[in-house]
Amino acid sequence: MNRLKRKPFLFGAGAAVLLLVAAAWMFASPSAAEAPRLERLLPAETVGFVQVNNLRAQALKIMESDAWRELSKENQAASSLFMMGANHTGALDASYALALVGMDAAEGDRQPQPQFVLVAEFGSWDSRRNFDNRVLRSLRESSKKGVTIAEQEYEDATIHIVTSDGREDVAFVRKDQTLYLSNSAGALKKVLDVRAKKAKSLETSENFAPARARASVHDGMFGYLDGAALTRLIESGPSSEGHAGVAAFRQLFHGTGASSVQSVAFTSAFDGGRVVERFVVNTSGKQGVLGTIATNAPTSQALLALVPEDALQAFDASIAGAPQTFDELLTLFGQVAAQAGKKDPQELFERVSSKTGLDLRNDLIGQLGAEICVAQLPNGDDRSGVIILNVRDEQAFARTLEKFAEHNKRAVSVRDYKGVVVRLIAGEKGRGMEYAFVGGNLVASGDAGIVERVIDTAQGGPSLAGNAAFREAVAGAGGNPQFVYFNTNADYVARLGHVLKSEEHEFKTSGQSVSLKPSYAFGVSRPEGLFVESRTPLGTFPRLLAAMTSKFGQESKKEESKKEEPKKETTSE
Amino acid sequence: MNREMIKAMLWKEWRETRWKWLAFAVAFHGPLFLAGFVITIEESVKFDLKAMSNPITGQVLEFALIAQSVFLITAGLFLLAFFAVGSVGAELDNRSIFFLFERPVRRGHVLLIKYLLGAVQTMTCVGLSILSSLTFVYAVIVAGSTHVTLEGSWGAFTNVVANATRGTVWTMVIGLMVYSATFLFSVLFEKWWIAVIAGAVSLLGMFYYFGSNLFDMIINAATRNGDGEIDLSLYGRLDPVPILVMLVVSTGLYFTAQYVFARKEMK
């Protein structure tokens, strides 16, 4: 013992080892927010939910992305302060799920209400406390009249029911590091039953498990919609005479083929510094309008060969089934309108026809070819749009446009550009529409010079289809897509600035031309349903962060100002 | 006393105090360790570090400078008193100083060597801790933040370091004065704990005398302008009068210690 007393370093080393072990334990054990799978907390009958995994981790990935680096170059202080602001709202240290778990029964004159539940699983007790303090304050202050909070014991939890004017506004339960918030106490009971293992969770649902497995993404965002549960929910709606609207909606739901949807899964996650978002619609069969869209022929992307190489963005889609889809929709809306006692859509078309002089079905829709392409081109310091439309009969479509000009008493001028006839239908306020037919396709633009650029491209100029960046981007698209979308992202940072801009954060919203990887999206019909994928710099994450920062930032400020109030009083005394 | 003797005495003092001095130097970086600990375990702080940019770096460094300065003039001075208090008293208490008296060395020289080495050690710690803390904070920011670049933040760093360097003159002179006072107590009281109490009481007395002005001077009045931005103009002012006064006081305290030591009855 005496020897030990003489060796204080031994005690120091022991303390250091203990500290290291404690630190290692802290780092090794993941927080609740890091490994969420919030479906385990939701009831099996959940209709759909969207989950955001560990918001802080997503925010860190945003900061490390190329897009944020570019944004930070021009907005150094603002980008830092935005992220720090988001951090100090207390909302980042959690995973969230917003779920539709069913419908409340109708009571008296009150219509049945959808039951939503927000589940927030926090990384620590402090984070949860901060969050629910802010949510509660927001609730109290959102209503002008008195708000009361009643408590109800259920299972091993206390349900707090917030009512204003005798009406239940919101109910919430705090349990460990999790907060459950809902517009219905009944919905919370369903969730608490799952927690108490009295009811099955969504995790065990037969439909859900394969959708989750197919998603193969455990990061970012995940969304799921159970088609069968949605159909059941809609079917369970009132069908008595007084609910014609509900019956009409039910008919619309079946007519569009939505009832054949087994599930919809959505994922959004960072991959290689960018965000990949995927929608997968699984259908049991291709019925209704959805079926017609799904069986539409893929786009040949031939029109992209007419788009000049420097196009800033372009959208190309197959419209081969447009006349059929139009007819089906028209019939469906006619039936729905008749059931709901609303005006027949045919009347609307007649009004359009009398105004434009065109028969929408035969002069326009019936003349459409297999493909449409819409592009945006640089035009000096500005941008201009152009539409390239594949038509069945060039002469017939030309007559349609002439008919329109004649009916509306618009002057039409004609000129020749490199052997192609370019027509201009004068507009009401000076500007008009310039158009030409190039290889059986209508090329139209509201800005002078753009049609000529498409003609140049058609006559051998460099096109978007041959552009290296475009080709590299489309290389990732599998199968034969029904639509493709391409964006050079030249103005992405400026657009991002617009999204993030607020009273507190001043971001530049123009004059920043940056070099980012282009965005690309495509949609393809597969035997099991529809698949849509997009690759963009940041996806929907910045909007999500901006929304949360703006809401919780205000609550955080109120908290701080309340803390400062007593100090001010002391000073004045 | 020849050169060999001086070397031998310096070596003896250094050998006896080196671990204590190292511990003292580590303790003087307390805020740094606290910040490091918080960054390591607190996700939210780690996030802020990651989110920093070049303009924010300057503000953080300014804050670090203020924090370290406040630490130095509060806890740092108490630490300094603890360090200085064992200079003479402990050797008187355990009677090891009589070994030196048996050598051909004058009492005054023994005290001079102790004072000089202690003063150098103290001033090094007090002075360098500001600069080393700032350098470390800067290194952590550059390494840990995604958007902070050396090119973009170097100007802010050198600006804060330039102000901090002038700040070190102040803290070193204040440190020397406090060291000299505690050194005197160490000579006066053989029991180290009496000297500690005396040092602590003196420091409290100093804080009482300056009152809140001392903190206002460092934090509020001189370091914040109307917009709430940190203003380092105080660090830019090197007023020779108070510095000279403090040096004179330190010298006076040293000679008082010599006077007391020469007349001290030691058996």
- As given in the structure block, the two tokens for residue A327 are 């007819």
- Res. B233: pLDDT tops 70: no
Which of A134, A136, A132 is closest to A174 using CA atoms? A132
Bridge partner residues of A274 (DSSP): A271
Give residue A437's pLDDT. Answer: 93
pLDDT digits (tens, 9 = 90+) for A318-362: 988 888 888 888 888 888 787 777 777 778 888 888 888 888 788
Percent of chain A with pLDDT over 90: 20
Least-confidence region, from A253-262, A304-313, B53-62, B106-115: A253-262
Mean pLDDT (chain A) is: 81
CA atoms within 13 A on the CB side of A58: 29
> Would the CB atoms of B51 and A63 count as touching at under 8 Å?
yes
Q: What is the tens place of the pLDDT at every residue in B255-267?
A: 999 999 888 776 6
Q: Tell me the mean pLDDT in the region A260-281.
A: 87
Q: By the 8 A CB rule, do A488 and A470 touch?
A: no
Given a cut of 90, is residue A30 above it in pLDDT?
Answer: no
The answer to whether A59 touches A267, Cβ cutoff 8 Å, is: no
What are residue B202's phi and psi, to 5 degrees? -65, -40
For CA atoms A362, A363, A368, A369, the dihedral sign is: positive
Q: What is the pLDDT of residues A214-247, one digit of tens each?
A: 776 667 889 999 888 888 888 777 666 666 677 7
Q: Report the pLDDT value the prediction gives residue B222, as an integer from 0 to 100.
A: 45
Q: What is the pLDDT of residue A463?
A: 94
A450: exposed, middle or buried (C-beta count within 10 Å: 0-12, 13-18, 19+)? buried
d(CA A262, CA A257): 11
- Residue B140 tokens read as 């952590």
The sign of the dihedral angle between the CA atoms of A129, A217, A486, A480 is: negative
pLDDT, tens digit, 9 for 90 and up, residues A445-463: 988 789 999 999 999 999 9
Higher pLDDT, B28 or A515: B28
> How high is the pLDDT of residue A146?
66
Contact flag A92-B51 (C-beta cutoff 8 Å) = no
pLDDT tens-digit map of A115-142:
999 998 888 777 777 777 776 666 666 5
Of B15, B47, B36, residue with least CA distance to B113: B15
Q: Which residue has the higher pLDDT, A552 or A29?
A: A552
- State the pLDDT at residue A573: 28
- The string of DSSP codes covering B143-169 is HH-SB--HHHHHHHHHHHHHHHHHHHH
CA distance B55 to chain A (A): 6
- Specify which residues A421 forms β-bridges with: A416
Could A80 and B55 be called an inter-chain contact, meaning their C-beta atoms sit closer than 8 Å? yes
Instruction: Say yes or no: ipTM exceeds 0.85.
Output: no
Q: Which two tokens stand for residue A346?
A: 């045919």
Q: Which pLDDT band, with edges at 50, 70 and 90, does A386 fall under?
A: very high
Q: What CA–CA distances, in Å, run from A465 to A304, A310, A370, A516?
A: 5, 11, 18, 19
| Helical pair B107-144 and B240-263, crossing angle rounded to 10 deg | 140
* Res. A32: pLDDT tops 60: no
Residues of B with a Cβ under 8 Å from any A Cβ are: 40-41, 43-44, 47-48, 50-56, 146-147, 152
How many interface pairs between A and B have CB atoms less than 8 angstroms apart?
Answer: 52
Which amino acid, A213? Answer: A
Residue B225 has pLDDT above 60, yes or no: no
With vertex at residue A141, the alpha carbon angle to CA A139 and CA A143, rounded to the nearest 5 degrees, is: 80
- Tell me which chain B residues have a C-beta less than 8 angstroms from the C-beta of A77: 53, 55-56
Per-residue model confidence (pLDDT) at position A570:
36
For A120, phi and psi rounded to 5 degrees?
Answer: -120, 115
Question: Which site among B22, B46, B53 would you substitute to test the A interface, given the most A Cβ atoms closer than 10 Å to its Cβ?
Answer: B53
A549 in contact with chain B, both atoms CB, cutoff 8 A = no
Phi/psi of residue B261, nearest 5 degrees: -65, -40
Q: Which residues touch A370 (CB under 8 Å, ≥6 apart)?
A: A297, A299, A300, A318, A319, A320, A390
Alpha carbon of A87: minimum distance to chain B alpha carbons (Å): 7
**What is the predicted pLDDT for the residue at A19?**
73
**Nearest-angstrom CA–CA distance, A448 and A427:** 13
Minimal CA separation from B53 to chain A, in Å: 6
Q: Report the C-alpha dihedral over residues B233, B239, B244, B247, rounded to 10 degrees.
A: 0
Output the CA–CA distances (angstroms, integers) from residue A567 to A137, A559, B142, B228, in the order listed: 21, 14, 37, 17
Task: Note the pLDDT tens digit of each residue in B117-170.
Answer: 999 998 998 888 999 999 999 999 999 888 899 999 999 999 999 988 888 888
Higher pLDDT, B251 or A255: B251
How far apart, in whole angstroms, are the C-alpha atoms of residue B259 and residue B242? 25
Angstroms from B43 CA to nearest CA on chain A: 8
The answer, yes or no, to whether residue A571 has pLDDT greater than 50, is no
pLDDT digits (tens, 9 = 90+) for B190-211: 777 777 777 777 777 776 666 5
What is chain B written as a DSSP string?
--HHHHHHHHHHHHHHHHHHHHHHHHHTTHHHHHHHHHHHH-HHHHHHHHH-BHHHHHHHHHHHHHHHHHHIIIIIHHHHHHHHHTSSHHHHHTTTHHHHHTSS--HHHHHHHHHHHHHHHHHHHHHHHHHHHHHHHHHHHHHH-SB--HHHHHHHHHHHHHHHHHHHHHHHHHHHHHHHHHHHHHHH-SSHHHHHHHHHHHHHHHHHHHTTHHHIIIIITTTB-TTS-B--HHHH---HHHHHHHHHHHHHHHHHHHHHHHH----
Chain CA centroid to CA B259, Å: 26
pLDDT per residue as tens digits for the range A476-507: 776 788 999 999 988 888 888 888 887 777 88
CB B79 within 8 A of CB B27: yes
How confident is the model at residue A242, as a pLDDT? 64
Q: Are the beta carbons of A81 and B47 separated by less than 8 Å?
A: no
C-beta of residue A323 within 8 angstroms of C-beta of residue A368: yes
d(CA A534, CA A277): 5
Q: Which residues in chain B have Cβ-Cβ distances shorter than 8 Å to A31?
A: 43
Higher pLDDT: A573 or A345? It is A345
> What does A299-349 look like in DSSP terms, one character per residue?
P--GGGGGSBTT-SEEEEEE-TTHHHHHHHHHHHHHHHHHHHT---HHHHH
Average pLDDT, chain B: 82
Predicted confidence (pLDDT) at residue A260 exceeds the cutoff of 70: yes
**Which residues touch B220 (CB under 8 Å, ≥6 apart)?**
none
Q: Hey, is A437 helix, strand or coil?
A: strand
Question: Which residues, 6+ apart, have CB-to-CB distance to B2 below 8 Å?
Answer: none
Report which residue type is found at B186: S
Q: Which of A55, A60, A76 to mutate to test the interface with B (most CBs of B within 10 A)?
A: A76
Report the pLDDT value the prediction gives residue A558, as an integer from 0 to 100. 59
pLDDT of residue B104: 76
The pLDDT-based confidence of A421 (bands split at 50, 70, 90) is very high
Q: Which of A56, A81, A88 sits opposite B43 (nearest CB)?
A: A56
- B194 phi/psi in degrees, rounded to 5: -70, -40
Distance from CA of B191 to the nearest CA of A (A): 21
pLDDT of residue B84: 83
Which residue of chain B comes nearest to A58, CA vs CA? B47
Rounded-to-integer distance, Cα A535 and Cα A517, Å: 10
- pLDDT in the model for residue A569: 39
Task: State the average pLDDT over residues A155-167.
Answer: 81
pLDDT score recorded for residue B136 = 94
The predicted model gives A517-525 an average pLDDT of: 90
Question: Percent of chain A having pLDDT more than 70?
Answer: 84
Q: Which residue of A has its CA nearest to B45?
A: A87
Contact A76 B147 (CB under 8 A): yes
- Arithmetic mean of pLDDT, A133-152: 69
